[in-house]
Amino acid sequence: MTRPTAIAVSGLTKNFGTTRALDGLDLTVRSGEVHGFLGPNGAGKTTTIRILLGLLRADGGRTRLLDGHPWHDATELHRRVAYVPGDVTLWPGLSGGEVIDLLGRLRGGIDPARKEELLEKFALDPRKKARSYSKGNRQKVGLIAALASEAELLVLDEPTSGLDPLMEETFRECVRRQQREGRTVLLSSHVLSEVEALCDRVTIVREGSTIESGSLSELRHLTRVSVSAELARVPTGLDELPGVHDLELDGTELRCEVDTPALDGLLRRLTEAGVRGLTSQPPSLEELFLRHYDHGPLDTSHRGAAR
Partner 1 sequence: MNALHGTRDLVRLILRVDRVRLPAWMAGVTLFLLGSVASFPAAYDTAAERQARAALMDNPATVILTGPGYGREDYTYGAMVANEMGGMTAALVALMSVLLVVRHTRHEEERGRAELVRAAVVGRHAPLAAALLTVFAADVVLGLVLGLGLPVVLPELSVGGSLLFAAGLSAVGVVFAALAGVTAQLMEHGRAASGLAAALLAAAYALRGAGDLGDGTLSWLSPIGWAQRTRSYVDGRWWPLSLALVLTALLVVTAFLLRSRRDEGAGLVRGRPGRATAAPWLSGPFALALRLRRGPLTGWTVGFVLFGAFVGAIAEQAAEFAADNELAQRMLAQNGQAGSAETVLATYLGLMALVSTGFALQSVAALRAEETTGRLDPLLGGSPLSRGGWMLSNLAVTLVGSGTVLGSGGLSAGLVHATNSGEPWEAARLTLAALAHLPAVWVLAGLAAALFGVLPAAGGLGWLVLAGSVFVGMFGPLLRLPDWVADLSPFTHTPMLPTGDPHPVSLLALTAVAALLTTVGVLAFRRRDTA
Ligand X SMILES: Nc1ncnc2c1ncn2[C@@H]1O[C@H](COP(=O)(O)OP(=O)(O)O)[C@@H](O)[C@H]1O
Sign for the CA dihedral angle at 6, 193, 21, 54 comes to positive
Q: How many residues does the chain have?
A: 307
* Binding residue for partner 1, selected from 6, 9, 43, 53, defined by CB under 8 A: 53
Report CA 179 to chain centroid distance, whole Å.
Answer: 15
- Write the interaction track for Mg ion spanning residues 33-72; mark x where CB under 5 A is met and - where it is not: -------------x--------------------------
* Binding residue for partner 1, selected from 68, 97, 136, 162, defined by CB under 8 A: 97
| Cβ proximity to ligand X, 26 vs 230, nearer residue | 26
94 near partner 1, judged by CB under 8 A = yes
46 near ligand X, judged by CB under 6 A = yes
Least CB distance from residue 208 to partner 1, whole Å? 16
* Binding residue for partner 1, selected from 101, 152, 158, 194, defined by CB under 8 A: 101
158 near partner 1, judged by CB under 8 A = no
Beta-ladder partners of 5: 30
129 near partner 1, judged by CB under 8 A = yes
Least CB distance from residue 127 to partner 1, whole Å? 4
184 near partner 1, judged by CB under 8 A = no
145 contact, one of ligand X, partner 1, Mg ion, none, CB 5-8 Å limit per kind:
partner 1
Beta-ladder partners of 248: 255
Least CB distance from residue 45 to partner 1, whole Å? 14
Least CB distance from residue 187 to Mg ion, whole Å? 12
Site for partner 1 in 235-264 (CB under 8 A): none
Least CB distance from residue 55 to Mg ion, whole Å? 13
Sign for the CA dihedral angle at 94, 151, 63, 307 comes to positive
Inter-residue contact 139 to 160 (CB < 8 Å): yes
| Cβ proximity to partner 1, 25 vs 103, nearer residue | 103
Neighbours of 80 (CB within 10 A): 18
231 contact, one of ligand X, Mg ion, partner 1, none, CB 5-8 Å limit per kind:
none
Measured between alpha carbons, how far is 138 from 170 in angstroms, rounded to an integer? Answer: 16
| Cβ proximity to ligand X, 163 vs 244, nearer residue | 163
Measured between alpha carbons, how far is 77 from 242 in angstroms, rounded to an integer? Answer: 50
Buried b (16+ CB within 10 A) or exposed e, 134-170: eebbbbbbbbbbbbbbbbbbbbbbbbbebbeeebeeb
Inter-residue contact 69 to 61 (CB < 8 Å): no
Report CA 166 to chain centroid distance, whole Å.
Answer: 18
Beta-ladder partners of 7: 29, 65
Q: Strand 60-65 and strand 5-16: pairing?
A: antiparallel
* Binding residue for ligand X, selected from 6, 25, 33, 39, defined by CB under 6 A: 39
Q: Strand 253-259 and strand 224-231: pairing?
A: antiparallel
Contact residues for ligand X, defined by CB under 6 A: 16, 19, 21, 39, 41-47, 306-307
Question: For binding to partner 1 (CB under 8 A), which residues are involved?
Answer: 50, 53-57, 74-76, 78-79, 81-85, 87-91, 93-99, 101-103, 105-108, 126-129, 131-132, 142, 145-146, 155
